[in-house]
Amino acid sequence: MDEKVQIQKTMNGDTYAFGYFVDKYQDMAMTIAYRVCQNLQDAEDVVQDSFIKAYRNLHAFKTESKFSTWLYSIVYNTAKTAVLRKVRYEDYEQIDESGLYSDLDTMNSIEENEKKELLNTALKKMPVDESVMLSLYYLEDIEIKEIAKILGLTKSNVKVILHRARKRMQTIMIKLLKKY
Model confidence band, residue 112 (pLDDT cutoffs 50, 70, 90): low
pLDDT given at position 180: 62
> Cβ(173)–Cβ(118) under 8 Å?
yes
Q: What is the DSSP string of 130-175?
A: HHHHHIIIIIS---HHHHHHHHT--HHHHHHHHHHHHHHHHHHHHH
CB 50 within 8 A of CB 29: yes
Q: Identify the structural domains of the chain with CATH numbers, from first to last.
A: 1-92 (1.10.1740.10), 104-180 (1.10.10.10)
> Which DSSP state fits 38?
-
User: How far, rounded to the nearest angstrom, does the alpha carbon of residue 107 sit from its chain's CA centroid?
Assistant: 28
The answer, yes or no, to whether residue 16 has pLDDT greater than 60, is yes
Across residues 80-97, what is the average pLDDT?
A: 55
Q: Work out the percent of the chain whose per-residue pLDDT is above 90.
A: 38
Q: What is the mean pLDDT of residues 49-74?
A: 89
Task: Tell me if 147 sits within 8 A of 136, measured CB to CB.
Answer: yes
Q: Whole-angstrom Cα distance, residue 9 to residue 6?
A: 5
Average pLDDT score, the chain: 82
Tell me the mean pLDDT in the region 60-87.
85
The confidence score (pLDDT) of residue 98 equals: 45
Burial environment of residue 117 by CB neighbours within 10 A (0 to 12, 13 to 18, 19 or more): middle
Cα 147-121-128 angle, rounded to 5 deg: 35
Question: Is the model more confident about 66 or about 112?
Answer: 66
Mean pLDDT value across residues 12-24: 91
